[in-house]
């Protein structure tokens, strides 16, 4: 863990000079705007007086007492609490939104319009504004459906392909749809800002959880579209590659991810039976998928001779992708050992908060960690002083 990042707190990032009015809450929007903030954007988080829901999604809490869920998506931001039904707060929200380069929101379709904060209203005052709306199921017939990650995992097909073939459908162990949607929102906003440098005009971009999931299911949705048949659950095995799954060894599970015939040849050579690479059942990936059960039984027999750690080291040394199933803590330790700096310390005054680092690396304009996740309404006075100063 890097002890501090104060040496990089003042580096101008690639989005320096961009002001973001963040009306979003929970995860997809806040995750996107946190990444913008890491890259130098000035992100002002607009919260209701009760705060973002995730402030109360605890335990666990970090060393500063904040819910770790909220902390995961809100560093480097300033917080102002505004009640949009209050006349004075509504005026402040309008001032913020019309002066921003980017406005991000994930209210139900129509809510921003009721407060004069929709793109048509804002662009009339500021034609350069880029607005990003995040919904669960789009702004058409699905506009009234609630956009919760679990619901979209179910309705969008992800649960149908997750879990054991003979078991129940299962959700993924993190709000993956929200994260994928947040990344699409980040990409869309940056593309719109780039286009603005040519046209001088902002625009309204929309992303939704269902479409983001269908795009993120890549080969699985491609299979359904290309064949007309929906894939099913295959547990930890891959529907189109073998061996590509956890396998038991002498003391635990080892993930083996063989992606081509050359890797398979190296695998069986290390396991002591190189002739398997010329066996008609296993010589090609198509054959290995067809004879998956027989291959798995053979590999289990061979791998039982040694520990998962021993096999992982030996296989990795010859270019066969293999490794143990780590806990999240062990994964962080692995990233540390590889020099990836997965954890940083963010500071606000005397408060210190450990955070997962931004995964993007830039040669000249790196991500910076200027402040810990804010307290509710912490920056109301600071924001209005800044606005008054221009």
Asked if residue 283 lies in contact with residue 290, where contact means CB atoms within 8 angstroms, the answer is no
Structure tokens of 19? Answer: 């002001």
Contact residues for 126 (Cβ-Cβ < 8 A; gap 6+):
98, 99, 100, 202
Across-strand partners of 323? 255
Euclidean distance between CA atoms 110 and 207, whole angstroms:
15
Asked if residue 213 lies in contact with residue 156, where contact means CB atoms within 8 angstroms, the answer is yes
Helices (H), 217-260: 219-227
Structure tokens of 127? Answer: 């034609």
Query: DSSP letter at 166?
Result: T
Q: Which of 335, 173, 330 is nearest to 252 (CA)?
A: 330
Asked if residue 50 lies in contact with residue 60, where contact means CB atoms within 8 angstroms, the answer is no
Structure tokens of 294? Answer: 């027989």
List the catalytic residue out of 42, 83, 178, 386: 178
Euclidean distance between CA atoms 283 and 289, whole angstroms:
11
Asked if residue 34 lies in contact with residue 26, where contact means CB atoms within 8 angstroms, the answer is no
Which residue is associated with the tokens 């599970």?
A: 253
Euclidean distance between CA atoms 288 and 295, whole angstroms:
7
Euclidean distance between CA atoms 183 and 207, whole angstroms:
10
Query: DSSP letter at 83?
Result: -
Is position 178 annotated as part of the catalytic site? yes
What DSSP letter does each residue of 302-316 carry, written as one string? Answer: HHTTS-HHHHHHHHH
Structure tokens of 342? Answer: 């997965």
Euclidean distance between CA atoms 153 and 364, whole angstroms:
38
Euclidean distance between CA atoms 332 and 343, whole angstroms:
8
What values do phi and psi take at 257, rounded to 5?
-125, 75
Euclidean distance between CA atoms 152 and 84, whole angstroms:
28
Residues known to be catalytic: 178
């Amino acid at each position: 863990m890097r002890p501090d990042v104060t040496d990089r707190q003042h580096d101008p990032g690639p989005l320096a000079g961009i002001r973001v009015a963040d009306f979003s809450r929970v995860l997809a929007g806040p995750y996107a705007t946190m990444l913008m903030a890491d890259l130098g954007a000035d992100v002002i988080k607009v919260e209701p007086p009760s705060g973002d829901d995730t402030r109360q999604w605890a335990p666990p809490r970090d060393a500063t007492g904040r819910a770790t869920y909220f902390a995961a998506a809100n560093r480097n931001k300033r917080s102002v609490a505004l009640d949009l039904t209050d006349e004075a707060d509504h005026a402040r929200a309008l001032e913020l939104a019309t002066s921003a380069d980017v406005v991000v929101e994930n209210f139900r379709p129509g809510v921003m319009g009721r407060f004069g904060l929709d793109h048509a209203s804002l662009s009339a005052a500021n034609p350069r504004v880029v607005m990003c709306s995040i919904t669960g199921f789009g702004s058409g017939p699905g506009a009234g459906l609630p956009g919760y990650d679990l619901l979209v995992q179910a309705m969008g097909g992800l649960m149908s392909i997750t879990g054991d073939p003979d078991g129940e459908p299962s959700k993924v162990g993190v709000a993956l749809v929200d994260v994928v949607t947040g990344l699409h929102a980040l990409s869309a906003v940056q593309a719109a800002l780039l286009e603005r440098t040519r046209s001088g005009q902002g625009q309204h971009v929309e992303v939704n959880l269902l479409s983001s999931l269908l795009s993120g299911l890549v080969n699985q949705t491609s299979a359904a579209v290309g064949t007309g048949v929906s894939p099913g659950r295959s547990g930890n095995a891959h529907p189109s590659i073998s061996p590509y799954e956890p396998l038991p060894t002498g003391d635990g599970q080892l993930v083996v991810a063989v992606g081509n015939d050359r890797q398979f040849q190296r695998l069986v050579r290390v396991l002591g039976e190189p002739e398997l690479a010329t066996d008609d059942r296993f010589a090609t990936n198509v054959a290995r998928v067809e004879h998956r059960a027989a291959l798995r039984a053979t590999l289990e027999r061979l791998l039982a001779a040694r520990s998962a750690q021993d096999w992982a080291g030996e296989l990795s040394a010859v270019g066969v992708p293999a490794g143990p199933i780590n806990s999240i803590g062990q994964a962080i330790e692995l990233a540390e050992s590889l020099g990836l700096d997965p954890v940083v310390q963010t500071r606000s005054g005397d408060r210190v908060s450990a955070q997962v680092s931004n995964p993007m690396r830039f040669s000249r304009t790196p991500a910076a960690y200027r402040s810990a996740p804010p307290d509710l309404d912490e920056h109301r006075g600071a924001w209005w002083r800044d606005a008054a100063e221009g």
